[in-house]
Amino acid sequence: MYEKKAIKGAIVISAIRTYDLWKEYETGGHDGIALRGIELDIAKGQIIALLGKSGSGKTTLLNLLAGLDVPTRGRVEIDGVDLQGLGEKGRTRLRRHKLGFVFQFFNLLPTLTSIENVLLALELAGRPDEKLARESIALVGLNGKEDRFPHELSGGEQQRIAIARALVKNPPIILADEPTGNLDSHTGTQILDLLTNRCRESGTTLIMVSHSLKTCQYADRILRMLDGRIFEEESYEGFAP
């Protein structure tokens, strides 16, 4: 069903659109509004840097875009298809085929080896191909570390495996939540290079949530979040994230 809608939406050039997107949390009487009417339109192949202070709503927005959470109001469209209308099964298929995820804390399954973590994403997408998984690991520069468990890798290496896992199924959209947030500056730069280069090569839309202004250097567009609202920035110079 999702595929059909996606084909129907082929004339739409937006990869992601949001309409009046609100998210409220129950906080026991306090103001728990994380997002306040976000309107967003991201074209296919764009690389976005989403900046903002802690608690500004960046991660909440990312979770809504991935269908990992449900909005209080408004809607999200991926390739012109309303996520709410897809239902749970449809959203699961969307994550399998259309989305790749890179988290701040890597979120690799600790009991699977590097190759198994990458293969898992392919398996879920219905394309179990060990050769492809190995190539993907080689592309992120970790040749020879396929059989290591996450705890046997450094933070940077774990993030590379996470990137390999996101890229291996060649998704049209990659959502990265603070991909360098847990890494040192040098490794962070390497990761950003790797991620953005691979996305540009394959025409993948990339949204990177970050605190770091360095991320803006790699982005086509810079979006800034403040108190649940989103603002377009022409340049990252002159403002603190």
Partner 1 sequence: MKRVIRSFLRYLARRRSLAILQLLGIAFGVAAAVGMTLASRSALENMEGAVDFLKGGSTHTIARPAGPMEEELLTKIMNDPSVKFFAPVIDRRVRLATGDQVRVLGVDPFLDKNVRSITREIASSANPEKREDTFRSFLLDPGTVLIDEYIAKAGNIAAGQSLMTMQGPLKVVQVFANPSGEPLVIMDIEHAQKFFRMAGYIDRTDLVVTDEAGLRKRWAQGFIIESNQQKAQTLSALLGAFKLNLQALSLLALFVGIFLIYNTAMFTVVSRRRDAGILLAIGASRGQVTLAFLVEVLLLGVTGGALGGIMGYLLSKFLVQIVGGTISTLYFFLRHSALPWTFWNIAGGTLLGCAASIVGSLPPLLELHRVQPVQALRGRTTSRSASKKMKVVGTIGLSCLVLASSFFLLSFLNVYIGFAGAFAFLLGASLFAGFIIMITVPFLKRIFSYAIGLGGKIAVGNIRENLGRTSVAVAAFMIALSMSIGLSSMIDSFRHSLIWWMNGQLRGEAYISTKNDIVVPEEAYDELKKVPGIGGIDVFRNVEISFRGKPAGITSIDAAVLQKYAQFAWLEGSDRSWEDVRRGDVIISESFSLRFKVKMGDRVTIDTARGPAKLRVAGTYYDYASEHGVIMIDRSLFFRLFNDRTINSLGIFIDAPEPEKEGILEKARQISRKYGLPFSTREQFHQRILGIFDSTFAVTRSMRIIAVIVAFLGIAGALMTLFVERQKEFGIYRALGFTTGDVARITIAESIGLGLISFFMSTVVGTIFTFVLIRVINRQSFNWTIFYHLTSQPYTVTFLTAIAASVAACAYPVWSVIRKYPIMQIRED
| Positions that interact with partner 1 (CB under 8 A) | 28, 63, 66, 68-70, 88-89, 92-93, 95-97, 99, 101, 103, 105-112, 116, 119-121, 123-125, 150-151, 158, 165, 182
Look-up of token digits 């090569």: 201
Closest approach of partner 1 to the CB of residue 135, in Å? 18
Counting Cβ atoms within 10 Å, is residue 100 exposed (0-12), middle (13-18) or buried (19+)?
buried
Residue 218 or 228 with smaller CB distance to partner 1: 228
**HEC sequence for 35-84:** EEEEEEEEECCCEEEEEECCCCCHHHHHHHHCCCCCCCEEEEEECCEEHH
If the CB atoms of residues 47 and 168 are measured against partner 1, the closer one turns out to be 168
Q: Which is nearer to partner 1, 175 or 222 (CB)?
A: 175
What's the CA gap between 173 and 176, in Å, rounded?
Answer: 10
Smallest distance, partner 1 to C-beta of residue 111, A: 4
Closest approach of partner 1 to the CB of residue 239, in Å: 28
CB 162 within 8 A of CB 108: yes
Please say which residue, 13 or 70, places its beta carbon nearer to partner 1.
70
Q: In angstroms, what is the minimal distance from the CB of 175 to partner 1?
A: 9
